[in-house]
Amino acid sequence: MNFYKIWLRNISVFFLICSSFVSFAVVAQVDTFQFDKAENQERFRNLSNELRCPMCQNTSLSGSSGGVAEDLRREIYLMIKEGQTDREIKDFMFERYGDFIFYKPRLTVGTIFLWVGPAFFLLIGGCVGFSVFRSAQSLTLKNKTLTDSDQNKIESLLTREEQNLKIKGKTS
Amino acid sequence: MLGYEMLKRLLPISAFFSFIAALAVGLFLENKDLPSVLVGKQVPSFSLKTIDGSLVTNNDLPGEIFLLNVWGSYCLPCLIEHPTFMSLTERGEIPVVGINYRDELNLADDWLKENGDPFLFSIADPSGRFGIDLGVYGAPETYLVDAEGIIRYRHVSVLNDSVWREVFLPLVKSLRTPKIALVGM
């Protein structure tokens, strides 16, 4: 019984340590700046997740320890403190780093394909799929409903075959 | 003979393969070659100290075509491209203004003393704030700025002799020619 209690305590301490590592790792880059309002903290977190680190290219500002990323996080922090809106902060970044800074690029002539492309391909796929479905359906329908002349042909063929069989039966 | 039926069959397949080809090309595009948003715009306005401690503004920039080089004493590629800038200024080919980016003043000073100082002056940007206005990714980067202070080109990473000859020199020449033509008229 005693052994079981010690074991339980050890295992819970172990998991507690593990979970604390996990949470530290996740918020390490982002939470170096403190805000008085939780709402601003949230905005800061969202912005630094939505904006891409220019130097390292495949990480967000929040996930990068690169020099520029650090500076840009500080800039976002200062701008939020100054009372600037998300829109203003994004415009500031766009003027300096262009479309590249956004993970979600803005809708412009240059980026329209990124936005419309998937819908376009879905549409093409849908059209092809639909036409394949239609032609398959019309094929099966044709088989089921025969025209009168076809029906007559079949019947005449069948009766001829029957007669042939009868003749064969008589001769043998 | 390419009949209508055959064309009808070939069209989707060729469309598919050209799409795949386009994706394959896109996959190997070099992201670093992205042009700066600042190209065609004025050098952002600044009023900053040089690493020698004197105050400089946009008015202190050379009134001719010049290079704006982002460097730091911690940056190894900067050391590699350094001889190119040294020889450019020794030959008097083009003025070079430095931006000492995210560096410490005494380290920057030591670095220039050890390796030579090709810069007209070096703007101190320890916080990287001016770098943000320029859209800097990281040292080394070099901007080609014309006589009116408009950024014409941005080169990311090392600017060695061959980059100077093959990329910068043609640009510099084309920027210099219309001016001479105007004077001639």
Question: What is d(CA B156, CA B75) in angstroms, rounded to the nearest whole number?
Answer: 13
List helix spans (H) across chain B.
4-27, 76-90, 105-115, 129-134, 161-163, 169-184
What B84-93 contacts at long range (C-beta under 8 Å, 24+ apart), as own/partner pairs, is B84/B159, B84/B160, B84/B161, B84/B164, B85/B118, B85/B119, B85/B159, B86/B116, B86/B118, B87/B161, B88/B118, B88/B164, B89/B118, B89/B119, B90/B118
In chain B, domain spans: 36-184
- Which chain A residues are Cβ-neighbours of B12 within 8 angstroms? 128
**Residue B65 in contact with residue B145, Cβ under 8 Å?**
yes
Structure tokens at A90: 């994004």
Alpha carbon of A75 to those of A106, B43, B123, B132: distances in Å? 21, 20, 20, 9
**Residue of A92, A73, A72 lying closest to A33 (CA atoms):** A73
Structure tokens at A108: 């412009």
Does A68 contact B37 at a Cβ distance shorter than 8 Å?
A: no
Does B135 contact A57 at a Cβ distance shorter than 8 Å?
A: no
- Please report the number of interchain residue pairs, chain A to chain B, with beta-carbon separation below 8 angstroms: 42
Please name the residue of chain A whose CA is at the shortest distance from the CA of residue B137.
A55
Does A100 contact B129 at a Cβ distance shorter than 8 Å?
A: no
| pLDDT tens digit sequence for A41-74 | 999 999 999 898 887 767 888 887 778 899 999 9
In chain A, domain spans: 2-106, 113-171
- Which chain B residues are Cβ-neighbours of A64 within 8 angstroms? none
Q: Which residue among B31, B38, B138 sits closest to A68, beta carbon to beta carbon?
A: B138
**Residue A59 in contact with residue A53, Cβ under 8 Å?**
yes
Residues 6+ apart with CB under 8 A from B64: B95, B147
Residues 6+ apart with CB under 8 A from B19: none
Please list the residues that pair with A102 across neighbouring strands: A51
Structure tokens at A7: 């074991």
- Which chain B residues are Cβ-neighbours of A97 within 8 angstroms? 37, 135
pLDDT beneath 70, residues of chain B: 1-2, 30-34, 178-185
The angle subtended at Cα B78 by Cα B75 and Cα B82, nearest 5°, is 150
Residue showing tokens 């003043």: B105
Please name the residue of chain B whose CA is at the shortest distance from the CA of residue A55.
B137
**Residue B122 in contact with residue B138, Cβ under 8 Å?**
no
Does A96 contact B134 at a Cβ distance shorter than 8 Å?
A: yes
Helix pair A67-81, A38-50: axis angle to 10 deg: 140
**Domain B36-184 classified CATH 3.40.30.10?**
yes
Q: Which residue among A68, A94, A98 sits closest to B136, beta carbon to beta carbon?
A: A68
Look at residue B153 and give its three-state secondary structure: strand
| pLDDT tens digit sequence for A78-128 | 999 999 999 999 999 999 998 888 888 888 887 888 889 899 989 999 999
Whole-number pLDDT of residue B184: 46
Whole-number pLDDT of residue B36: 83
Whether complex ipTM tops 0.85: no
Decide if pLDDT at A28 tops 80: no
0.80 exceeded by the pTM? no
The CATH-assigned architecture of domain A2-106 is: Orthogonal Bundle (1.10)
If interface means Cβ-Cβ distance under 8 Å, which residues of chain A face chain B? 54-55, 57, 66-68, 70-72, 74-75, 94-98, 100, 128
Whole-number pLDDT of residue B84: 97
Please list the residues that pair with B55 across neighbouring strands: B49
Q: Which residue among B31, B132, B133 sits closest to A57, beta carbon to beta carbon?
A: B31
DSSP sequence for B114-140: HH----S-EEEETTSHHHHHHT--SSS
- Which chain B residues are Cβ-neighbours of A70 within 8 angstroms? 128
Give A53 to chain B, closest Cα distance, Å. Answer: 9
Whole-number pLDDT of residue A122: 94
Question: What is d(CA B103, CA B125) in angstroms, rounded to the nearest whole number?
Answer: 7
